[in-house]
Structure 1
């Protein structure tokens, strides 16, 4: 959130409000937007008025939601982003080879955002839309979280743990740190019923040198991805992640 000493505090505050709208799953009242963005109600209202004028927010009873200008901004990113462009044929091949839905995520702050997806022969019972924001400590997010700088990783782990996965498994901060270290050491993550019940995901970071460009994942019903198939799929996912990294300038 913006700090009073920031010379760009007006811009920071506007992005704070926009981020609140991005994360909302239903219309938010002005008071709730102000609370979540840690702003005075009058300040939040002034920012919302600008966002309304620019199309980045719209009124939707009983409050406000993100506006259509956000879609145009996302489209501009997708058509100009080299990573998503070079990844698409690799995702198509990976989906065909594994039969699973293949996806590509990038890290935005302490979340991951879906920027590309190709459905497999064994489709999931749900569809994640492009632009969906998801946590780093579940599923493919672990392939991004594992490479966070140490201080940032420690702060993030302490902020989310302990937590309970959808399977009912309770995860402590110590458990999560150990798991993320194994993900980093192994070069991949296997996730079983972590965010969605009876769904297995296998992911790997897309890395160019020390830079983490994103995370590549395949996911499908756990019954279609038995443990015996994990080594083969892990190999395919890591190969695909390397191919994407090699194609990026």
Structure 2
């Protein structure tokens, strides 16, 4: 098989896996074909290979991820330096602030949770490791602010007005202003953007080349903390971000 065809086959297989993983319900052959833009026969062939290798499994209602994806997720936790060094620092931050602390990394036009320590007064929701969230809401804006300018402009320029959890409407212009403020302050405070009643403070984590590779955040309920109160932990979060960055050298 030619190298170009091998690359296209791999991309198509990854497209299929990503389409299935992004759904909370099993997907049928037809749904996966439409989601990926692949011909139904091509989709069926790829599904057969992925099912044979246990990356997908088939049920009467459609396809879901298979057990083979779990060893890869576990291997990431053991191999990724950021995932290895973050937990002790997050544990310390959560202990001092009594707020849930997390580390997210960018993944395409989203962010993925790679480490998290729940606070004693846990949030009303729990995220598993691997949870995907938007870059245009809450702490995701910190990753978006320091993203490659061309890709950032593409996301912001194509952004459609969106109703935040607090009822406010976020537009491309208000999003752009938040990103400008993040560049000035090096942190972002969010209140009831993605989830009503949730307040968070997020700071960037950098590598040895001063590139933003992740974020660290603290979050809690507005019944326990507000925007001004969470800013009392600003130095704690910024110091934690620097400690992680130093260990990434």
Structure 1 runs, 4 residues or longer, greater than 2 Å off: 158-161
- The 5 A counterparts of 1:142-161 are 142-161=141-160
Match of residue 222 from structure 2: 222
Match of residue 194 from structure 2: 195
Match of residue 96 from structure 1: 95
Tell whether the 8 Å contact from 1:27 to 1:61 is kept in structure 2 after alignment.
Answer: no
Q: Distance in 1 between matches of 2:59 and 2:131?
A: 20
Match of residue 231 from structure 1: 231
Tell whether the 8 Å contact from 1:22 to 1:66 is kept in structure 2 after alignment.
Answer: yes
Tell me the CA shift for residue 6 of structure 1: 7.2
Q: Distance in 2 between matches of 1:154 and 1:204?
A: 21
Tell whether the 8 Å contact from 1:147 to 1:212 is kept in structure 2 after alignment.
Answer: yes
- The 5 A counterparts of 1:76-87 are 76-87=75-86
What is the alpha-carbon root mean square deviation over aligned residues?
1.4
SS of alignment partner, residue 220 of structure 1 = strand
Match of residue 242 from structure 1: 242
Match of residue 54 from structure 1: 53
- List alignment gaps of at least 5 residues for structure 1: none
Q: Deviations over 1:182-239 (max 9, x none)?
A: 1122101111111111011111110123322211111110121223323222221111
Q: Tell me whether 1:41 sits opposite 2:40 in the alignment.
A: yes
- The 5 A counterparts of 1:135-174 are 135-174=134-173
Tell me: CA distance 1:28–1:153, structure 2 relative to 1, closer, same or farther (3 Å).
same
Tell me: CA distance 1:192–1:133, structure 2 relative to 1, closer, same or farther (3 Å).
same
Q: Deviations over 1:125-168 (max 9, x none)?
A: 11100111111111121111111111100111234432121222
Q: For this pair of structures, how many residues does the alignment match?
A: 245
- Tell me the TM-score normalized by structure 1: 0.94
Q: Distance in 2 between matches of 1:108 and 1:58?
A: 24
Tell whether the 8 Å contact from 2:200 to 2:230 is kept in structure 1 after alignment.
Answer: no
Q: Distance in 1 between matches of 2:68 and 2:133?
A: 21
Match of residue 178 from structure 1: 177
- List alignment gaps of at least 5 residues for structure 2: none
SS of alignment partner, residue 123 of structure 1 = coil
Q: Distance in 2 between matches of 1:184 and 1:61?
A: 50
Tell me the CA shift for residue 63 of structure 1: 0.7
Tell me the CA shift for residue 7 of structure 1: 6.3
Q: Distance in 1 between matches of 2:160 and 2:41?
A: 34
Q: Distance in 2 between matches of 1:7 and 1:158?
A: 34
Tell whether the 8 Å contact from 2:28 to 2:62 is kept in structure 1 after alignment.
Answer: yes
